[in-house]
């Protein structure tokens, strides 16, 4: 693309009717392929429900669209044997990168006990680094991870993942760029010098906003909530507002000098395509 911006997309494996929905997703990604994504990342259900389909979907994207893939992998509850097996699968299929995550503690399990093999994502990064030469991405939280006691300690923990050998950070979705700028500045002060790729989600309806707040705790600017709420019965206008917001957010990030943007596509091409058409 003319701006030489490194574009990437996140998708997730469909929970039901995998074959049919995965095919539809391929069609959506075929639309986004024109933006020459550096990779498509595919989420991995820490809870287990979509784990097998995650790899299957990633391979389908690689084979049918010839796009590089970055499978996510969560180590919570996994043994070294499980992880070794998964890494072999990745190596044997000529995949070059992986997003190494811990995964969320299961919500329905009050006295959940971590497995000794992998307590934090940094343990997984150590393990991958020792066994492979994959490029390793890790997660970063501009608004601080929900379990971290404070931003400083969260950044120190992020630094451990980099010291273990991670090559890039993809951020949790955020809607207020100030959180990102502040995060990047503090990460640099902490000695983190790998790319910190902003994760952007174009919001097109009220339900997505509610989901984002409950899942990620990301702050959503009050103006955006008010506008989307005001037009919740007028889908076209609501969508236009969400896309305009994302375009402005991305434009500001580009002006600030980011080298790439990772789009949370929610498995649909439309909104991301419109944003990209406006910023490239």
Candidate residues 77, 154, 175, 272; the one interacting with ligand FAD per rule CB under 6 A: 154
Q: Which is nearer to ligand FAD, 160 or 211 (CB)?
A: 160
* H helix runs in 4-163, sequence order: 18-32, 51-65, 80-92, 121-131, 151-163
76 phi/psi in degrees, rounded to 5: -60, 125
Residues between 103 and 132 that touch ligand FAD (CB under 6 A): 103-104, 120-122
Give the interface size with ligand FAD as a residue count (CB under 6 A).
23
> What is the nearest approach in angstroms of ligand FAD to the Cβ of residue 46?
3
CB of 276: closest distance to ligand FAD in angstroms?
A: 19
Instruction: Give the footprint of ligand FAD on residues 187-246 (CB under 6 A).
Output: 199
Has 28 been annotated as catalytic?
Answer: no
> Which of 170, 187, 201, 220 contacts ligand FAD by CB under 6 A?
170
- Single out the segment in contact with ligand FAD by CB under 6 A; choices: 39-47, 58-66, 178-186, 268-276: 39-47
Interaction between residue 145 and ligand FAD (CB under 6 A):
yes
d(CA 206, CA 15): 22
Residue 43 interacts with ligand FAD (CB under 6 A): yes or no? yes
Min dist CB 103 to ligand FAD, Å, is 4
Query: Which residues form the interface with ligand FAD (CB under 6 A)?
Result: 43-44, 46, 72, 74, 101-104, 120-122, 139, 145, 147-148, 154, 157, 160-161, 170, 172, 199
Positions marked catalytic: 10
């Amino acid at each position: 693309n003319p701006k030489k911006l490194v574009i990437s997309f996140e998708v997730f494996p469909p929970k039901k009717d995998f074959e049919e929905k995965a095919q539809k997703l391929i069609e959506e990604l075929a639309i986004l392929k024109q933006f020459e994504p550096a990779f498509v990342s595919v989420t991995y259900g820490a809870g287990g429900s979509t784990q097998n389909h995650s790899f299957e979907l990633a391979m389908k994207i690689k084979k049918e669209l010839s796009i590089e893939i970055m499978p996510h992998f969560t180590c919570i509850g996994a043994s070294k044997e499980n992880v070794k097996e998964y890494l072999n699968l990745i190596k044997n299929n000529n995949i070059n990168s992986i997003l190494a995550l811990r995964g969320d503690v299961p919500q329905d399990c009050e006295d959940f006990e971590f497995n000794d093999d992998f307590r934090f994502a940094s343990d997984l990064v150590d393990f991958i680094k020792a066994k492979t030469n994959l490029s390793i991405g890790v997660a970063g939280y501009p608004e601080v991870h929900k379990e971290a006691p404070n931003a400083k300690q969260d950044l120190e923990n992020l630094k451990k993942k980099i010291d273990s050998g991670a090559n890039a950070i993809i951020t949790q979705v955020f809607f207020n760029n100030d959180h990102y700028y502040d995060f990047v500045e503090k990460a640099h002060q902490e000695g983190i010098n790998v790319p910190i790729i902003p994760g952007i989600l174009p919001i097109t309806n009220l339900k997505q906003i509610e989901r984002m707040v409950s899942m990620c705790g990301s702050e959503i600017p009050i103006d955006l909530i008010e506008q989307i709420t005001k037009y919740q019965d007028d889908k076209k206008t609501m969508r236009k507002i969400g896309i305009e917001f994302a375009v402005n957010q991305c434009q500001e990030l580009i002006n600030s000098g980011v080298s790439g943007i990772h789009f949370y596509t929610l498995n649909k091409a439309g909104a991301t395509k419109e944003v990209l058409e406006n910023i490239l």
